[in-house]
Amino acid sequence: MAETTRDIGIGIVGGGYMGKAHAVAFSSVGAVFGTALRPRLEMVAASSAESAERYARDFGFARGVADWRELVTDPKVEAVVIATPQHLHREIALAAFAEGKPVLCEKPLGASLEDGRAMMAAAEAAGAINMIGFNYIRTPATQYARQLVEDGRIGQVTCFRAEMTEDFLADPNLPANWRTEDMANGNMGDLAPHIINCARAFMGPVAELCASVETVHRTRGGVEVKNDDQAALILRFESGVMGTLFSSRVATGRKMGYAYQIDGTEGAIRFDGEDQNALWLYTTDAPEAERGFKKILTGPSHPDYLPFCQGPGHGTGYQDQIIIEARDFLAAIETGENRWPTFEEGYEVNRVIAAAHESQARRGWVRLDEI
């Protein structure tokens, strides 16, 4: 626990699903991690005065406002969290950076490649702390998997295979809604960024790719669907290693299919987000009769587990990922040094998405240095 602490005023723009998750995280992070900066929920901004007041009351904010500009410019708000639809990210972030304030923005970074580039440039010009909300990469199991790969436990990596699959739009009879309207809200804007971030975290930059992006259910209730349902990507990383990614919002039966397998010359690693407290490890150094994937249950010896629970196998959950993220954001503010993943990572993920759309249009391979 930090020897000395001080308050920091947090303002969250958006009080919906992710707004609530961040409010809970910043309310809890000081107790969980003993952070030097202790968040004070100062202000929440929403689309109306009524909803802002409700969020403030329900989540424990001092104030609620209907205009996010009031939040960004308020002197008692010392750090800004953006939990709004993507098309608002850019304007809010640039306004916050103009005030010299740190920003944590939910993924993806804006609604387009241009948005992401502008947001990254503004962060760099302001010299402000910036972070993007890729929370799934922070599970104790995946943090440990990254350590295993970096330590050479599975030898030289030969292939990376991953998916981000859910089924919330698998039923073709579901009506059209906001998720089916803009490209930024499609599968490639919503689900794919998480698994692209995962691929980059393990394997580094992508050199080139070939993608197939499609809309499975082209109309819903007689209304045209204007974005994609699923996509398959073949990747070649700059390291030379090959990889494949699949993302889908129509994968019947899948609820939290953030999953990957990493093959190496001396072993392999497997993970599935529907069992996020387990990691499967295969190594070639065991006798032939005993070789097979071994299930490792996360516990206090794994990264960022012990602050939540002292019992091995008891597990952590989705909200805990957001608390770890809040810890990293506060640590960056305290030290004045950015913590990964920053807006630069968000922009690089956007480049992969743009390359995938370009590949679909060309029906062929696209190099990332073209994007």
pLDDT (mean) for 91-118: 97
pLDDT (mean) for 254-275: 98
Q: Which residues pair with 7 in a beta bridge?
A: 38
**Mean per-residue pLDDT of the chain:** 97
Supply the CATH classification number for the domain 6-136: 3.40.50.720
Residues 37-71: pLDDT tens digits?
Answer: 999 999 999 999 999 999 999 999 999 999 999 99
Domain with CATH 3.40.50.720 in the chain: 6-136
Domain with CATH 3.30.360.10 in the chain: 138-314+349-362
| Amino acid 223: pLDDT | 97
Residues 134-148: pLDDT tens digits?
Answer: 999 999 999 999 999
Kind and range of the H or E run holding 145: helix 140-150
Residue 263 tokens read as 């093959």
pLDDT (mean) for 120-130: 98
Q: Is residue 345 pLDDT above 80, yes or no?
A: yes
Closest CA relative to residue 96, chosen from 343, 345, 268, 358: 343
Q: Is residue 244 pLDDT above 80, yes or no?
A: yes
Q: How far apart are the first and last CA of the chain?
A: 45
Residues 131-184: pLDDT tens digits?
Answer: 999 999 999 999 999 999 999 999 999 999 999 999 999 999 999 999 999 999
Topology adopted by domain 138-314+349-362:
Dihydrodipicolinate Reductase; domain 2 (3.30.360)
Residues 31-44: pLDDT tens digits?
Answer: 999 999 999 999 99
Residue written as token pair 């699903």: 17
Instruction: Name the band, by pLDDT with cuts 50, 70 and 90, for residue 352.
Output: very high
Residues 2-42: pLDDT tens digits?
Answer: 679 999 999 999 999 999 999 999 999 999 999 999 999 99
Residues 112-121: pLDDT tens digits?
Answer: 999 999 999 9
Instruction: Name the band, by pLDDT with cuts 50, 70 and 90, for residue 286.
Output: confident
Looking only at the bridges linking them, the beta strands covering 6-13 and 79-82 are parallel
Q: Is residue 228 pLDDT above 90, yes or no?
A: yes
pLDDT (mean) for 227-235: 98
Backbone angle region of 253, left / alpha / beta, with phi > 0 → left and psi within -120 to 50 → alpha: left
Residues in the chain: 371
| Amino acid 1: pLDDT | 55
Which parts of the chain are beta strand (E)?
A: 6-13, 37-45, 63-65, 79-82, 103-106, 130-133, 157-165, 206-214, 219-220, 223-224, 230-237, 242-248, 257-264, 267-272, 278-283, 294-297, 366-367
- Residue pair 115/89 in contact (Cβ under 8 Å)? The answer is yes
Rounded CA-CA distance 156/211 in Å is: 26
